[in-house]
Structure 1
Amino acid sequence: MSAYDETDLRLAAKAGIRAPSIGNSQPWLFRLDGGAIEVRTDPTRRLHHLDRDGWAARLACGAATFNARLALAWAGHPAEVRLAPDPHDAGLIARLSPGPQRPPTYAEAELHGAIERRYSNRGPFWPDPVPADVRARLIAAAREESAWLDLLVGMTAIGAFSEIARSADRVLRRDAAYQAEQASWTHVESAADGIPVTAGAPLAEPQDLLPQRFFNDRRRVAGRDYEPEPLVGILGVAGDRPADQILAGEGLQRVLLTATAAGLDTSMISQPIEVPAAREQLRRSLGRYGWPQIVIRFGYGSPGHPTPRRDVTEVI
């Protein structure tokens, strides 16, 4: 195959828009250029307070790139991918050029089937533990994309992370501009982007280990506490340049889809990444070479509420 066409572009974009993004801001665009598909950031959807340096947009667009790769591979038209291919064009996230045609692998077909089923479940998870073999698959999924995933084991590690995350959340709650921008992306009525109040978690309570974003004033059902020993994974990569953050987005999406295919629910915790002092504290606590890019919560929960997506025609 020498060139992608409009059909391939639409296929890639339709999968790409199912990626996660902070505030469900959907900061991506897809374009056909010279027979290749470009994934680009959409400057009109930049979050000036929630994402001051563009980290979250690059992470989201990296996740969208992974979805686009999967869709093309599933169609038998796999891509050769270059991340951040033009140092003079910061908005160009990835360039997908046609590779040799072949049938999709079993793993590609399985992950592609999980794209439509993946969404963030912010509600409490059941106490059922995640089996060891599934944990191993999650770690391997990150490694496949040159990322790493550290799953926190034991209450000592969980407690230390909880202190860092809750401290970062308090810092962000004191930032009036940050909170106002978050509120502007929270919707009571139907919208094609943002977070519907129905998709938000119940109000946090003092005994909760992990911080929750404030999306509504709903209280949880009596006796339905958040898990006392949650499974938390910290995903990172070796560096922290824009290209590293895009790479982390690809790793994030492979991990999320692997979790979905295994029957897990997930949600993301970004507060300790957004506050520089907290992020450095988290990095030191891990004893890892590299930089944490996002935190993921894994478990089994009741069916949640997927967030909406813009029509694919709006992002092409």
Structure 2
Amino acid sequence: MPYRMRFGADDLLRCRFAISPLWETHQAVYTLLSPERQGYHLPWLRRCREAAAGLDLSPITLLNPVRGYHPDFLCPPPEGPLASFEEELARVRTTGLDVVRRELARSLADTPGAARTSAGRVMLADPGAALRQLTALLEQAWHALLAPDWPRLRALLEADVAFHARRLAEGGLEALFADLHPRLVWSGDTLSITRPGEHCRELGGGGLTLVPSAFSWPEVIGGFEPPWPTTVVYPARGIAGLWATPDADTAEALVRLLGANRAALLTDLAEPASTTALAHRHGLALSSVSAHLSVLRAAGLLTSRRQGHQVLYERTPLGTALVGGADR
């Protein structure tokens, strides 16, 4: 039976996107634990193998049933469009202990015998200590596995939001959900996720938050219950090129395709940079750099965002794929 989310009139006006570094950390840990999720992320796994080996993931492994409930308090739906990891983790640390105990018990019950293990008994007997242990582990995982790659991941997620926001503006919810994920089905006033289990929720004016994720692939995640806001986490577009790396042949071909200056700017923009910084680094006039960036952005190879008084540019997943080719 599907998971169903029923929209009212107010909910149709409150469909929004959010990006969550905490969600990416949470899902990256599950990717380490789940071979079926690893296909697109093998270059990342090879690179972070040593850092991952230094993490004791056994507490999260215990709360990772093959089929069943994963504690929502560990990774609550984001409240804003883009909070920092530290802000999101601080929110988790304020979770009420009654919620922690209830969700831990529900998750442990979905893995036969987990609640009777010594670790399971300790979690249930002292949910405050369990909360401290689990949030400390998530913080370690963020710094070891995700923080070094967050600019690249954020660019992928922001490009996905921009694409789907255009779909929503052009064709409404029907167009948005038509290609968001094969298991998402929009019919009338209801969004359904075709998956085992039964869940039905009236949105009740709270709307829906959509969260793109690189590491949730190939799953679409929903079924949040009150007090958590209605949320759907779905695989972001472009993850096939996420971990691409450049080589000499690709660099030469890129120059022939784009010209030397545009190729150099695109290659340089693995990390966010302003027009002024790029002009200084490449010895070009500001007006020339601005014109080149406009062309690259119009072609879908760059994304831009305002930070204070600056506009920062960085590559989209398409731009990364073009620069790097497939990593082998």
TM-score if structure 2 supplies the norm length? 0.25
TM-score if structure 1 supplies the norm length? 0.26
| Higher fraction of helix | 2
Which has the higher Rg, Structure 1 or Structure 2?
2
